[in-house]
Chain A
Amino acid sequence: MVRYIGRRVFYMLITLFVIATLSFFLMKMLPGSPLNAEDKLSEEQKAIVLEKYGLNDPVPIQYVKYLGGLVQGDLGISFKFSNYPVTEILLDRMGPSAQLGFQALLVGTILGVLFGLIAAISHNGFLDYTSTIIAVLGTSIPNFVFAALLQIVFAVNLGWFPVALWGEFEHTVLPTIALMIFPMATAARFVRTEMVEVMGSSYITTARAKGISEPAIVFKHGFRNSLIPLITVIGPLAVSMLTGSMVIEQIFAIPGIGEQFVNSVFANDYPTIMGTTLLFAFLFVVIILIIDLLYGLIDPRIRISGGKS
């Protein structure tokens, strides 16, 4: 197990290196420069400013310098926020996004699993159709539509929650609801489909024949097996939730990282783009590793390799 994890961590580092390299060169292909007054400066003046940021060096040298900084944990200084380290930007902005993402994922998954279960149990019944409709709506209607609707109804008309902005827990309620619709609908769909399939399989029939009580069959034999595909989708979903949604953050004026990331791309803020990309990639590979380890726990049939010791 330890050796397996060790090897996975090694691969993770390689993955991150490849991502860093790819995004570095892709970023260099972005049109424009990080200058803000580009239309006002002569070529010579531009060169002087770029010199300060080390952008006059040949690209390979910039790349080596960048990797050098990275190894020392230095993500550089933002081009947009003058003198401000990228690490600080990530720390400032990651918090609200992660909090919202976590809340939405938690509540969304729990509710989704619940809906899925109910739907599967009342297979082809009224509740099944109701939750299927909710699931279809949830996955097909974009979350900013919900966000705008929630804002108008619960903040402007009813005045139960703040319209937008960040600070207290009450500020997180509406964005969390808007964000959780998608994981909820996804979870509901997967759990329902799997449960229906599992409940039709022969071992369930066997269990029934043995006279095991219905709740025990549903939860012990059926539910657990239906979780595997759910975990597969929850992983990447978790990453996308935690790294913030640009649209939701914009609508609710939340100082999150999703919005910041998009902005730094528009501003050609190279160090911030790189830092954010790497942070997202890191989160992704770590969560994938956790998911892989989880598989083995949930279903003993899926054995992780490397258990030779």
Chain B
Amino acid sequence: MKLKKLSLLLVFGLMVAVLVACGGSDSGTQGGGTDTESADGEKVLNFINGDAIPSMDPSLATDTYAFQFLGESMEGLYRLDKDANPVEGIAIDHEVSEDALTWTFKLREDAVWSNGDPVTAHDFVYAWQRAVDPATGSEYGPYMMGGVIKNATEVNTGDVPVEELGVTAPDDYTLVVELENPTPYFLSLTTFGTFLPLNQTFVEEQGDSFATSTDTLVFNGPFTLENWKSTSTEWSLVKNEDYWDAETVQLDKVNFTVVKDAQTKVNLYETGKVDRTDLTSDLVDQYASHPDYMIQPETSVFYLKMNQTRNEALANKNIRAAIAKAYNKEAIVNEILNNGSVAANGLVPADFAPMPESGEDFREVSGDLVTYDVEAAKEYWAKGLEELGVDSIELELLGDDSESALTMNEYLANQLSTNLPGLSVTLRNVPFEQRLDADTNMDYDLQVSGWGPDYLDPNTYLNLWVTDGGNNKMGYSNPEFDTLIEEAATTLATDNVARYENFLEAEKILMEDAAIAPIYQRAKAYLVSPKVEGVYYNAFGFDWEFKWASVGSAE
């Protein structure tokens, strides 16, 4: 009797074991660590990716990892070189009509998809139509093409059929694009993920499973994406022998693994499992003197938005000007962020937009427009208080609730209330999504916000602040500013020199009005093995370019 019960107990135990193990059976069979040694002199690099690739569908892609791997495994009309100049991709040449509204691209005839089909102009027509087709549900399609390509917005809202989109293929290797407005930066847009071509037959064959795994993808770029499906945490870029410029590509393989923990990344680097890792600020001090340490500036800028509609104090220009000068940016970048970020004294980031004729950096020409200056801040502040007829002001500072953001928000609040007598700042730290909601509803006083470029032109930062602009959301309005931005997009659209003059002027007005208060331009610290050669960071589009990269000696 007892034995019987004991055996029953055993059976139950086994049941539990089977139940829990059933999910585990197919695990652990694939992959294995990364190969650190390249066999037969193969050129292999091993990298960390911060997260899984959520999408490889160019129309649906929205995040940096999606664009990263689309950028390497596919190719659009042009590609950006080391200095952010567009160089030949699938297009070999182009002509722009006199009114700057019609762009005619000549495509190369030797480009093929990895399934053997030629890459033709029809692939671009199909892909661009698909990106704005409401049935696709693309976010970046209407965003990137709306107001740029003729009828993109109308197609997206369903007012006209997709065939009306301003892109046609008179023959297999000619692509004609009609624009809504003259767009001087259009060439840089053609390097972006949303503008990549798609092989219609293949995409339609795959149906709903398109771009969910290596098998449901087709490539035309320098590399192919291997061993990948949506939730993968390991995959590789493998040299694409069918790529038209395959002889330029030197790397045979780049392996990627998803690692999120900062210390784990460094440990993997130290044990030679990966050839590069980023460093969080708490690790920077420890590794800043490491020979492999380097800083990569990025093109995202962060600033305080000052909402003029909720708190009347912020409608006062002197009050805003005081706030913009009252916090120590150097301390923020050096002590709090501590990752190579630089203090921003204007809106358009450094090393982003070269001036049309001189090639000088826009930021350098525009100069330091708002600097940390407590004395000046106090003067503005006193003047502002007098105008308002009050002696104290309460403001709420809205910010993200990530670890580094919390410290920075705390510091900002402290600096403002210390340096500006009578000001008390309360903090409201919320998750990103909630901050966006608050932004949309203009339910904040001060907000730490940021922006990354959507194309290679200062306009991507400046047109945010036109009156009632979709991203303004702080009640800023200056007709003079609006006119300058409007002119740059219309009457001056074909005159890049004049456009940049307008941008310089517009940025100056924006800072004089103290509409926003710049804080910093982001950078990231890395440990990079000397093995990694020629991998560079794009100012716009996808982050890291591997096409011209190579493997050097380990030391």
- A83-B57, A165-B257 known; A94 vs B267 contact (CB < 8 Å): no
Q: Check B140 for interface membership: any CB of A closer than 8 A.
A: yes
Cβ–Cβ < 8 Å partners of B291 in chain A: none
Q: Does B54 contact A (CB under 8 A)?
A: yes
Encode B33-56 as 1/0 by CB contact (under 8 A) with A: 110000000000000000110110
Q: Is the CB of A52 within 8 A of B135?
A: yes
- Chain A residue at minimum C-beta to C-beta distance from B258: A253
Q: Is the CB of B12 within 8 A of A48?
A: no
* Stretch from B23-31, B334-342, B411-419 at the A interface: B23-31
Type the 1/0 row for B230-264, where 1 means its CB is closer than 8 Å to any CB of A.
11111000000000000000000000011111011
| A165:B231 contact, CB within 8 angstroms | no
Considering the chains assembled together, what is the distance between the CA atoms of A171 and B259 in angstroms? Answer: 14
- Note all chain B residues with C-beta closer than 8 A to A106: 17
Are A81 and B54 CB-contacts (below 8 A) given A48-B157, A152-B267, A297-B5?
A: yes
The answer, among B12, B134, B136, for a CB contact under 8 Å with A294, is B12
A44 vs B139: C-alpha distance in the bound complex, in angstroms? Answer: 11
A219, B185: Cα distance in complex, Å: 81
Which residues in chain A, 33-72, are within 8 Å of chain B measured between CB atoms?
Answer: 33, 35-42, 44-45, 48-49, 51-53
Residue numbers in B under 8 Å from A92 (CB-CB): 229, 231
Query: Which residues of chain A from 120 to 174 have any CB-CB distance to chain B below 8 Å in the complex?
Result: 148, 151-152, 155-156, 159, 162-169, 171-172
- Please, which residue of chain A has its CB at the minimum distance from the CB of B206? A83
- A156 surroundings in chain B (CB, below 8 A): 267, 270-271
Q: Given known contacts A48-B142, A51-B134, A287-B16, is B33 in contact with A98 (CB within 8 Å)?
A: no
CB pair B23–A94 under 8 Å, yes or no, is yes
- On whether the beta carbons of A98 and B24 are closer than 8 Å, the reply is yes
Check if A32 sits within 8 Å of B33, measured CB to CB: no
Q: With A41-B142, A48-B156, A297-B12 as known contacts, state yes or no: A95 contacts B26, CB within 8 Å.
A: yes
Minimum distance in angstroms from A148 CB to a CB of chain B: 6
A80 touches B54 (CB 8 A): yes
Cross-chain contact of B434 among A31, A44, A102, A251 (Cβ < 8 A): A31
A104 to B437, CA, bound (A): 42
Interface size of A by CB at 8 A reads 74
B405 to chain A, nearest CB (A): 15
Q: Is the CB of B231 within 8 A of A88?
A: yes
Report the bound CA distance from A36 to B146 in whole Å: 17
Within 8 A of B (CB), among A93-107: 93-96, 98-99, 101-102, 106
Number of A-B contacts (CB under 8 A): 210
Task: Say yes or no for B20: interface residue by CB 8 A criterion.
Answer: yes
Cβ contact within 8 Å between A251 and B210 = no
Kindly provide the distance from the CB of B149 to the nearest chain A CB, expressed in whole angstroms.
15
A216 lies within 8 A of chain B by Cβ: no
Q: Are A252 and B264 in contact (CB under 8 A)?
A: yes
A101 CB contacts on chain B under 8 angstroms: 20
A16 contacts B by Cβ under 8 Å: no
**With A253-B264, A255-B231: A238-B25 Cβ-Cβ less than 8 Å:** no
Tell whether, in the assembled complex, residue A37 and residue B139 are in contact, meaning their CB atoms are under 8 Å apart. Answer: yes
Complex Cα–Cα for A101 and B267 (A): 24
Check if B436 is an interface residue, CB within 8 A of chain A. Answer: yes
What B residues does A302 contact at CB under 8 A?
none
The answer to whether A253 and B212 touch across the interface, beta carbons within 8 angstroms, is no
Can you list 18 A-B pairs, Cβ within 8 angstroms, ordered by A? A36-B139, A37-B143, A39-B436, A39-B471, A40-B143, A44-B157, A49-B139, A81-B212, A82-B212, A84-B231, A89-B230, A98-B22, A102-B20, A164-B268, A165-B259, A167-B30, A242-B20, A297-B8
With A45-B139, A166-B28 known, 8 other A-B pairs at CB within 8 A are A32-B431, A32-B432, A48-B156, A52-B137, A82-B54, A82-B230, A95-B24, A98-B22
5 A-B pairs with least C-beta separation: A32-B433, A95-B27, A52-B137, A99-B24, A36-B62
Which A residues form the contact surface with B (CB < 8 A)? 30-33, 35-42, 44-45, 48-49, 51-53, 77-78, 80-84, 88-89, 91-96, 98-99, 101-102, 106, 148, 151-152, 155-156, 159, 162-169, 171-172, 238, 242, 250-253, 255, 259-260, 263, 266, 268, 286-287, 290, 293-294, 297-298
Q: B residues engaging A (CB < 8 A)? A: 5, 8-9, 12, 15-17, 19-28, 30-34, 51-52, 54-55, 57, 60-63, 134-140, 142-143, 146, 156-157, 208-212, 229-234, 257-261, 263-264, 267-268, 270-271, 273, 431-434, 436-437, 439, 454, 470-471
